[in-house]
Structure 1
Amino acid sequence: MSEHESPELIDLFTAYTAGPGSIGAHLRVSAAHAHARDPLLVVTGADMALYPGDGRPLTVLPYRLSNRGFKELAAVSHLGTALASLVELYRHDPGGVWRADAENLLLQVRRSRAANSTALWRDRIAAVSHRGREEAIATMVDYACAVTERYLLRALADASLLNHRTLREEYLEDGHPDLPVSFNRIMVATFFLVGMDNAHRLIAWCDAQDIDWARAMVVVVGQIGRPTAGVTWRTNGVAGTVLAASRHTLPLDRLYIAPHARGFATPVGGDLSEVEELEPVLRQLWAGTRVTVELGGAMFEGYPAFSPGDDRPGLLGERTVTRADEIITEQPRIRSPKDWFTLVTRLRLVMEDPRQLLSGAVTDYAAQQLIEHGNDPLAVTVPGLDDEPYPAYGSISAAA
């Protein structure tokens, strides 16, 4: 314990929120027990596991490892970004590594074009969701390699072509006479094919499990894609696929995304021991989150409730709450330090919205108030502290 900390108040803190003997830990265990019979669907960056509940055997789908054609299609879709990156490399250092990188990319484009064929996509890659389109995919890949090779050859001969305007006008965007299909369209097509294949297999697997979606506990754990991606319902593609697989009968408030939670490695050789061991941990994660959400409605009844199903993303964070029957999706705007309806509404929001930090109900407002008052804490009104009629220190008795 640090010398500046109060041991008595630290013990008060841990009585609720820290350690296996705390109130919070006991509540998580109790909540998990209450949901022990519900199906739990856990999604990681590579796998999907269904714990049916009541001790029934689990099932795992290694959807990432079984994704045929992902890297091959990504290789094509990345060509646009690769050329844009070469532009940046040249801009930063015209005498640097851009030329060697461009020559290597040219080599790989030529090798890929030579290896590409209808037979490759039909007989070797053989993604089920691509059946019937193999010839069209091979034609698209051939064209993508050809126009990329053409741009690289011109840029290597004349480096002044390595600028973003030329890249957009002569490669990425519609309208150039020598570009019957712009590369932007190819990027959309390749991303769509990958997403369609993922979704096709996940939907088929979920259908085969006969999941009771109304009772399902769904949690997405760990990193999904790049470190900053997939941390909300709107940005997590796998979560969107699960919702689609349920035919949107899975209530959105039963799906939680936990990017920092521990997942499991893809089972090797049919060994499911690690996945089995994590079931109680993951059930407590979901149930502990759920019970906190439910506390928000119980503690702050009579204030606007949180709903994850908002369809107005352009207005998030800009709404002013005025009535208890309103639905909120992000922090509503605080009009003044005395705007208690909004301040308490925010308390309910951070409890009911699992994306929120519980202590963050008014953090943004505090920061903005400091900016407006020259970063002088004494010039800021602290809601609930300043100008409140507290009795004199020590004058209140706790006796009944």
Structure 2
Amino acid sequence: MTEEFIRLFATYTADPDSIGRRLGRAVTDRARNNPLIAATATDLALYPGDGRPPTVEGFRLSTRGFKELTAISHLGPAVASLVRLRDLGEESWRKAAERLLTEVKATRAANSTELWRDRIAVEAYRGREREIADMIDHACAVTARYLTAALDDEEYLTPETLRRDYLDNGINSMMVATFFLVSLDISFRVTRWFTEQDLDWERAMVVIAGRQGRPTAGVTWNTSSVATMILAASRGRLPLDRVYVAPHAPTFPSPADGDLTQVIALEEDLRTLWCGTRATVELGDVMFDGYPRYAPGRLTLPDVTDPGVAEVSEMPAIHSADDMRALVTRLRIVLEDPRQLLSSCVTDFAAASLAAAGDDPTQVVVPGLTDL
């Protein structure tokens, strides 16, 4: 390496006192009072600015009903995986099917309207508890029948019977409904929480930090369910160019017993990350005024109303809660498109439906819930 060139390289970027680092620190210093929203895969933290302590809202794993609904939504891919295991000649499919059948029967016995109304008691599901319990009962019954038939005659376990006798017998609708219900609950709580914070959205700095799902997914704002919820909660006031998805950013664990020590410790790093990125963005105006600027745009979603449409490269548009062709197509897309988070299947539609209902979840039509 040539020493003179290396020193020149370090002068701008590769040194703690480089020009680039100085600019990043200057931008950070001027944004100390701006609210910073940091989102991990499970929690939202709001740093109000000016050294004030953060507040945290958990939105996924620790919330009531999430794991119960997720367990039910997994029935479709679980049974499909058994079909694939048999196709691949893996004898282990039978033992796995027996275990799944045992757990499905136990879950069906534990499920009830009272369970959802009195114990799980999710505010966003109030008034729907019987429908949810009935949907789960039906899904468990269909799953048990299909598994029993397959264990009695393994030749029955094929992709054709999976689609005809299982998925088309209410399981597709159940998967749509469970995804939607989870997104509805999270969107309801996140929107209420943000409303209570009385945020200046135009000045907000947003970092979607760390891995959000499978390693290849959720790395752009339009494939991140968390970004979708934050943008929806802002009701259009948060500029899209202030949302940065940073899969390699540091994250904090969900606070235990209200201890925010690790959340507080990350504020400086997260502010530096956001402002360092912003510093480079703002060089565009300085260097290239008069040339077209970058402006983030919203995707135009493809329309799958025409049954002749055989493939799409993005999530299809959903025209209504009855648009099951688009909704089930989304179930397929989140499996096949490695950019997509499974949780992003209908998050945008749920968030938009909640907003259209004036943030009243009882007025939202849940697709697939009664379509059994």
Mapped to 2, the partners of 1:24 and 1:172 lie a distance apart of 55
- Identify which of structures 1 and 2 has the higher relative contact order when contacts are C-alpha pairs closer than 8 Å and 6+ apart: 2
Aligned equivalent of 1:82: 78
Task: List, as ranges, runs of 4+ consecutive aligned residues in structure 1 with deviation greater than 3 Å.
Answer: 310-314
Question: Residue by residue, what CA displacement relative to the aligned partner does 1:357-379 show, whole Å, maximum 9, x if unpaired?
Answer: xxxxxxxxxxxxxxxxxxxxxxx
User: In the superposition, relative to structure 1, how do residues 228 and 274 fare at CA in structure 2: closer, same or farther (>3 Å)?
Assistant: same
Mapped to 1, the partners of 2:68 and 2:6 lie a distance apart of 54
Partner AA of 2:33 in structure 1: R
User: In the superposition, relative to structure 1, how do residues 129 and 80 fare at CA in structure 2: closer, same or farther (>3 Å)?
Assistant: same
Partner-residue secondary structure (3-state), 2:4: helix
Contact in 1 for aligned 2:61/2:67 (Cα 8 Å): no
Contact in 2 for aligned 1:67/1:197 (Cα 8 Å): no
Mapped to 2, the partners of 1:9 and 1:165 lie a distance apart of 64
Partner-residue secondary structure (3-state), 1:49: strand
Aligned equivalent of 1:189: 177
Partner AA of 2:25 in structure 1: V
Once the 2 structures are TM-superposed, how far is the Cα of residue 313 of structure 1 from its aligned partner? Answer: 6.1
Once the 2 structures are TM-superposed, how far is the Cα of residue 65 of structure 1 from its aligned partner? Answer: 4.3
Mapped to 1, the partners of 2:109 and 2:10 lie a distance apart of 64
1:319-330 pair list within 5 angstroms = none
Aligned equivalent of 2:367: none
User: In the superposition, relative to structure 1, how do residues 214 and 19 fare at CA in structure 2: closer, same or farther (>3 Å)?
Assistant: same
Once the 2 structures are TM-superposed, how far is the Cα of residue 165 of structure 1 from its aligned partner? Answer: 1.9
Q: Does 1:58 align with 2:54?
A: yes
Q: Does 1:228 align with 2:224?
A: no
> Which is helix-richer, 1 or 2?
2
Q: Does 1:138 align with 2:133?
A: yes
Partner-residue secondary structure (3-state), 2:207: strand
Q: Give the counterpart of 1:261 among 249, 266, 279.
A: 249
Partner-residue secondary structure (3-state), 2:201: coil
Once the 2 structures are TM-superposed, how far is the Cα of residue 36 of structure 1 from its aligned partner? Answer: 1.0
Mapped to 1, the partners of 2:152 and 2:4 lie a distance apart of 74
Mapped to 2, the partners of 1:227 and 1:218 lie a distance apart of 21
Q: Which has the larger radius of gyration?
A: 1
Once the 2 structures are TM-superposed, how far is the Cα of residue 254 of structure 1 from its aligned partner? Answer: 0.8
1:183-332 pair list within 5 angstroms = 183-312=171-300
Mapped to 1, the partners of 2:19 and 2:56 lie a distance apart of 34
Question: Residue by residue, what CA displacement relative to the aligned partner does 1:241-290 show, whole Å, maximum 9, x if unpaired?
Answer: 11111111100011111010001112222222221121111111111111
Question: Residue by residue, what CA displacement relative to the aligned partner does 1:196-246 show, whole Å, maximum 9, x if unpaired?
Answer: 111111111101000010111111101112222211111101111111111
Mapped to 2, the partners of 1:269 and 1:170 lie a distance apart of 47
Once the 2 structures are TM-superposed, how far is the Cα of residue 304 of structure 1 from its aligned partner? Answer: 2.4
Q: Does 1:19 align with 2:10?
A: no
Once the 2 structures are TM-superposed, how far is the Cα of residue 307 of structure 1 from its aligned partner? Answer: 1.5
Q: Does 1:106 align with 2:101?
A: yes
1:2-17 pair list within 5 angstroms = 5-17=1-13
Partner AA of 1:241 in structure 2: M
1:150-169 pair list within 5 angstroms = 150-169=145-164
Mapped to 2, the partners of 1:311 and 1:84 lie a distance apart of 31
- Identity, in percent, stands at 56
User: In the superposition, relative to structure 1, how do residues 302 and 312 fare at CA in structure 2: closer, same or farther (>3 Å)?
Assistant: farther
How many pairs were matched up? 302
Once the 2 structures are TM-superposed, how far is the Cα of residue 59 of structure 1 from its aligned partner? Answer: 1.1
Mapped to 1, the partners of 2:154 and 2:4 lie a distance apart of 69
Q: Does 1:47 align with 2:43?
A: yes
Q: Give the counterpart of 2:25 among 21, 29, 34.
A: 29
Please provide the CA RMSD for this pair: 1.4
Mapped to 1, the partners of 2:223 and 2:45 lie a distance apart of 21
For structure 1, which runs of at least 5 residues remain unmatched after alignment?
A: 174-178, 315-400
Q: Give the counterpart of 2:88 among 86, 92, 117.
A: 92
Mapped to 1, the partners of 2:64 and 2:258 lie a distance apart of 20
Contact in 1 for aligned 2:28/2:276 (Cα 8 Å): yes
Once the 2 structures are TM-superposed, how far is the Cα of residue 50 of structure 1 from its aligned partner? Answer: 0.8
